[in-house]
Amino acid sequence: PALCFHATFLMTLRAIGLLSTLVALCSGLLLPPVLRGPKLIRVDAEGRRLPPWVKGGIPLHVEEVQLPKGAGASFSPALRDVEITREAKALVLQPRNARDVKAAVVFMHGFSQQPENYMETLSCLAASGMKIVAPTVWIFDMFSPFVTVETARTPNLFKKLQTAIVIDGLRSIEMLERQKFAGPISLAGHSMGGAGALVMPRILPRGTKISAISVASPSVIESRPTVVNPDLHGNGRLFDRKLDLCSSETHFRRYGMKPKVVLFSAAKDGVVNPEEVRSVFGVMRVFPSALERESAWVAIKFGAHIGFGNSLKLNLKLFNAKIPQPAILDLLIYALDVGECIWGDLDAQLVTTKKLMVRHFAAYGGSKDTSGDFAFSEKRTEWSEVVEVHTDSKQIWRTLIGSPP
């Protein structure tokens, strides 16, 4: 049954891909394409893009760059027998003035998303003085066997895509190091990419340091053992999905570093429910984990899985251009979130996430705290109105919610 489901799912994805491509080709005749060359945009402190006729704002440089190739060992000891030849790109956002760049964060997107679906969050972090590097590998890139690291006879789409985004995250860090980037480097992500961000510190080359990690609804329980992630995954059961506690404890014990970690969950998340995030947080606190007093779980009291992004549009790549299209695939995969999307407060969820991510990275990732420069659309006087913060660290608690919203 699992194989039949997997085959049906792949056929559905291909059908959606064909339909979306036909729509893209038709609309491409009518709509101007979104070019991938470098450009300058202006945003407010919250990361919302300002129209050209509005003066002021924070200028950001945005471009797509090629990620480095080469011997796998240069990216991770886990890839020492692999040659990385796959073409890969990353979206890079940073303050226009290089002197304003204080730190960097590698951001990894969710299963069916692209970096552009998180532009407000990425721009918000960039406006706080960070260089953002977000790998762009996407579902449809996996239909051809580009990820040869996973050699299973029946390659699992999720495993291939998560392997690809973890490898591209490693390549992003290698790119920063080749550029002689001098500031602290941190990790962030959502869903599949959030799980990937938690994987990377275990397999980074010795001497590479990660200062902080901030992830939203990491889909750890959906993960399966892979070459780059042998330990941090679920039990593989279809109807009783849980974290594989023993191997996951092993994963965090072997981190080799102590980044400050914040996990976000949304109360109405229909894809990664808060209990799944709590179980990951619980494993981090098991002695002698390196993260027993270095982590926090932020439970947002409302919100949905797709509420951690700000857009459902996807950019279909045609030649040297991108054509925006509605994310039909997201509407199918995240159907369980529809109720919260209609009646929930996704705006407050996104503002909460951005504010606390900015505070977290300002305290531990080297950027500046701009969280006071933007506010909730409806006034919030106490953090208890929107979140519960669980942590063994008074320092992290004060960093996140020690001052009013």
| φ, ψ (nearest 5 deg) of residue 74 | -75, -15
Contact 159, 236 (CB under 8 A): no
If you average pLDDT over residues 56-83, what whole number do you get?
A: 93
Distance (Å) of CA 110 to CA 37, 61, 129, 335, 389: 24, 24, 24, 16, 23
CA 95, CA 60: separation in Å to the nearest integer? 5
Q: How confident is the model at residue 13 (pLDDT cuts 50, 70, 90)?
A: very low
Q: For residues 124 and 40, is the Cβ–Cβ distance under 8 A?
A: no
User: By three-state DSSP, how is residue 295 classified?
Assistant: strand
pLDDT at residue 7 tops 60:
no
**Contact (CB, 8 A) for 367 and 358:** yes
Residues in the chain: 405
C-alpha 230/C-alpha 249 separation (Å) is: 12
**Domain spanning 35-401: CATH 3.40.50.300:** no
Q: Kindly report, residue by residue over 138-187, the tens digit of the pLDDT.
A: 877 766 555 666 554 455 777 888 889 999 999 999 999 999 999 999 99
What's the number of CA atoms in the CB half-sphere (13 Å) around residue 189?
29
What DSSP designation does 117 have? G
Among 185, 163, 162, which residue's Cα sits nearest to residue 174?
185
This prediction has a pTM of 0.86
For residue 395, the 8-state DSSP code is H
Tell how far CA 243 is from the center of its chain: 20
Q: What is the per-residue pLDDT for 311?
A: 66
Q: How far is CA 111 from CA 46, 54, 65, 165, 305, in A?
A: 25, 35, 21, 10, 12
pLDDT of 208-241, one tens digit each?
999 999 999 999 998 888 888 999 999 888 778 8
Sign of CA dihedral 366, 372, 376, 382: positive
Give the separation between CA 281 and CA 293, rounded to whole angstroms.
11
Residue 365 is encoded by which pair of tokens?
């990732």
What was the pLDDT predicted at 253? 87
Rg (CA), the chain: 20
Least confident range from 91-95, 103-107, 214-218, 244-248: namely 244-248
pLDDT of residue 343: 47
Q: 268: which DSSP letter?
A: T
Residue in this structure with the two tokens 């919030």, named with its chain if needed = 380
Supply the DSSP symbol for 228. Answer: S
Instruction: Kindly report which listed range (36-40, 222-226, 264-268, 345-349) carries the lowest average pLDDT score.
Output: 36-40
Q: Distance between CA 130 and CA 43 in Å, rounded? A: 14
251-255, long-range: CB < 8 A, 24+ apart: 251/199, 251/202, 252/283, 252/284, 252/286, 252/289, 252/290, 252/291, 253/288, 253/289, 253/290, 254/202, 255/201, 255/202, 255/289, 255/290, 255/291
Whether pLDDT at 112 is above 90: no
* Every domain of the chain and the residues it spans: 35-401
CA distances from 309 to 6, 204, 260 (A): 26, 27, 23
**pLDDT tens digits for 283-302?**
988 866 668 788 999 999 98
Please name which of 190, 133, 404 lies closest in space to residue 310, comparing C-alpha atoms. Answer: 190
